[in-house]
Amino acid sequence: MIRLLISLYLVVFVSIVLINQSSELIWNSWVHQAPDELRHAQLVAKVLQESVSDIHQLPPQVTTLSSDDVAWLPEQIAALQQGDVITTFTEQGDALLTFQIKGEESLAQLGPFLPASNALAQKYLFKLLSFAVLGLLLVFWLRPLWLDLMQFKRVTAQLAQGQLDISIQPSKFSAISNLTSQFHAMATKVANLMSDQKQLVNAVSHELRTPLARLKFALAMLAAKDPKEVQAMSQDVQEMELLIDEMLGYARLEIAAESLEYHAFDFSALVHGQIEKLQRTNTKELNVTLCPNVTIYADQHYIARVVQNLLQNACKYGHSKVHVTLLVSHGEIELQVEDDGAGIKPEDRDKVFSPFVRVDHSRNKALGGFGLGLAIVQKILNWHNGRCEVSTSALGGARFVMYLPISERVKLLEVTP
């Protein structure tokens, strides 16, 4: 940053000095010294004053008058007595040049002449050109910096989309070339980590399932010899297999973010369908209030996963009642899922969205799960610019509220006939 500030200061300082010096030189030679009838007449009048010592030596075009013929101001009289050529103007705006003849009281007057041209427009035009030159110099200085920043934008977009083949070519003249090189090294490392994660997921998916399958087969063969021991070992194997499935599913979410398929669909119908599936295997009392025809623009498969996880979570930890409410409020879609379980303590509410976290004794391993359901909910909602919040339910348990913004595309669909 120090190099960037010093570079900017030097460019601005040197540019201003050069522009000021060159503009003053050009102004003096182009505008101030430009030919002008009045300025030329003033020079002629000065030469004529110095060369004439008698009123009879004046050309016939020169008017002579007495100093009493004009009501001169005191400073004008003093200037005439000092031998200066003074300029006065007629009612029409024409200029008259007057000087006193040496050794006499008479005055000589030349004119009328057109007044000196107004250089105000030229002055502002010249200032505008000077600032334009300064801006052009700053553009040349900023161009390498802008190119590097655009590379930052391109690489971050590639990483967000899962494109791991990245490359950066830092400009040698950029003030942040060192930062660009460091960013390239960091981006390359991130890309390698993402690539390693993909390879690890694939390896776990293939390599761990094979020994688990052999263990299940061996346990099945030993079941007749020691049924109780074999049953306990089988439960451990099933638990390990379920854990691997959960871990792989969570790890695949990072890869899945690259291929989300967004489209508009009826969110009310999706929630209703998930509730119907849950009622087939659930005995708890479900109280459902759904706002009809709520359309969202999202990936339907993963949003269904979010709704499924929230409903299963409430049914798993609730005692007997679960309330589900869908409404639209303040430009957002809210899905509220409440249960009458033990609830979640306020200090633990931020932790429940972290992977492999079970913060309450009521939400323990005996009830199933490995603490990944709510982490998956949070990750999917982040993809859709949504969020999930936890509070205390009116039923006494936990209240999860899922928020999704109403997409501009959905608004456009609503107003389009």
Q: pTM of the entire structure?
A: 0.52
Q: What are phi and psi of 357, to 5 degrees?
A: -110, 125
Q: How far apart are CA 233 and CA 226, in angstroms?
A: 11
Contact 314, 350 (CB under 8 A): no
Rounded to 5 degrees, what are φ and ψ at 304?
-60, -35
Give the DSSP per-residue string, 301-338.
HHHHHHHHHHHHHHHHH-SSEEEEEEEEETTEEEEEEE
Q: Which CATH architecture has domain 260-415?
A: 2-Layer Sandwich (3.30)
The rounded distance, in Å, linking the Cα atoms of 412 and 406 is 11
Tens digits of pLDDT across the chain (417 residues): 566 677 777 877 888 888 777 777 776 666 554 445 667 777 888 888 888 777 777 777 788 888 777 888 888 888 888 888 888 887 777 788 888 887 777 888 887 876 655 555 666 777 788 888 888 888 887 787 787 778 777 777 776 666 666 666 666 666 666 777 777 777 777 777 777 666 666 666 666 667 777 777 777 777 666 677 777 777 777 777 777 777 777 766 766 666 678 888 999 999 999 999 888 888 888 999 999 988 898 989 999 999 999 999 899 888 889 999 999 988 889 999 999 988 888 888 888 888 777 665 444 445 555 677 888 898 889 888 899 999 999 999 999 999 998 875 555 444 444
Number of CB atoms found within 10 A of residue 309's CB: 23
Distance CA 100, CA 102 (A): 6
**What are phi and psi for residue 246, nearest 5 degrees?**
-65, -45
Would you tell me how many other CB atoms lie within 10 Å of the CB of residue 242? 13
